[in-house]
Structure 1
Amino acid sequence: MNCFIGLGRMPRIALLCLVVVFLQACATSQPREPENMCSVFKEKRGWHKAAREAEKKWGAPMYIPMAIIYQESTFRAKVKPARRKLMGFIPWRRLSSAYGYAQAIDGTWNQYLRSTGDYWRVRHDFADAMDFVQWYIRQASKRNGVSRNDAYSLYLNYHEGPGGFAKNTHGSKPWLQKVAIGVQTRSQKYREQYEQCKRSLKPGFFARILGW
Structure 2
Amino acid sequence: MHIKTILVGLLVISGFLLGGCANVPPAKPNNICDIFDDKSDWYKYARKSEKRWGSTIPVMMAIMYQESQFVHNARTKRTKILWVIPGPRKSSAFGYAQVKNETWYEYQKSSGNNWSRRDRYQDAVDFIGWYNAQSQKRSKIRLNDAYNLYLAYHEGHGGFNRGTYKKKTWLRNTAQQVANRAAMYSRQLPQCEGRLKGPWWWPF
- Could you state the TM-score of these two structures normalised by the residue count of structure 1? 0.88
Q: Is the 8 A contact 2:44 2:197 kept in 1?
A: no
Partner-residue secondary structure (3-state), 2:50: helix
- The 1-side partners of 2:107 and 2:128 are apart by 10
Q: Is the 8 A contact 1:82 1:95 kept in 2?
A: yes
TM-aligned CA deviation for residue 116 of structure 1: 1.5
Alignment equivalent of 2:124, drawn from 117, 126, 129: 129
Name the residue aligned to 1:79: 74
**2:56 counterpart letter in structure 1:** P
Matching of residue 188 in structure 1 with residue 183 in structure 2: yes
Q: Is the 8 A contact 1:83 1:95 kept in 2?
A: yes
**1:186 counterpart letter in structure 2:** R
Matching of residue 50 in structure 1 with residue 45 in structure 2: yes
- RMSD of aligned Cα (Å): 2.1
Q: Which moved more, 1:195-204 or 1:175-184?
A: 195-204
Name the residue aligned to 2:57: 62
Question: In structure 2, do the counterparts of structure 1 residues 9 and 15 end up closer, same or farther at CA, with 3 Å as the change threshold?
Answer: closer
**1:10 counterpart letter in structure 2:** L
Question: In structure 2, do the counterparts of structure 1 residues 29 and 7 end up closer, same or farther at CA, with 3 Å as the change threshold?
Answer: farther
Name the residue aligned to 1:40: 35
Partner-residue secondary structure (3-state), 2:197: coil
TM-aligned CA deviation for residue 202 of structure 1: 2.9
Partner-residue secondary structure (3-state), 2:96: coil
Q: Which moved more, 1:43-52 or 1:194-203?
A: 194-203
| Structure 1 gaps, min length 5 | 1-5
**1:31 counterpart letter in structure 2:** P
Q: Is the 8 A contact 1:99 1:105 kept in 2?
A: yes
**1:189 counterpart letter in structure 2:** M
Q: Deviations over 1:79-119 (max 9, x none)?
A: 11111011111110111101000000111001101111211
- Could you state the TM-score of these two structures normalised by the residue count of structure 2? 0.92
State percent identity of aligned pairs.
41
- The 1-side partners of 2:198 and 2:15 are apart by 24
Query: How many correspondences in the alignment?
Result: 202
- The 2-side partners of 1:22 and 1:191 are apart by 33
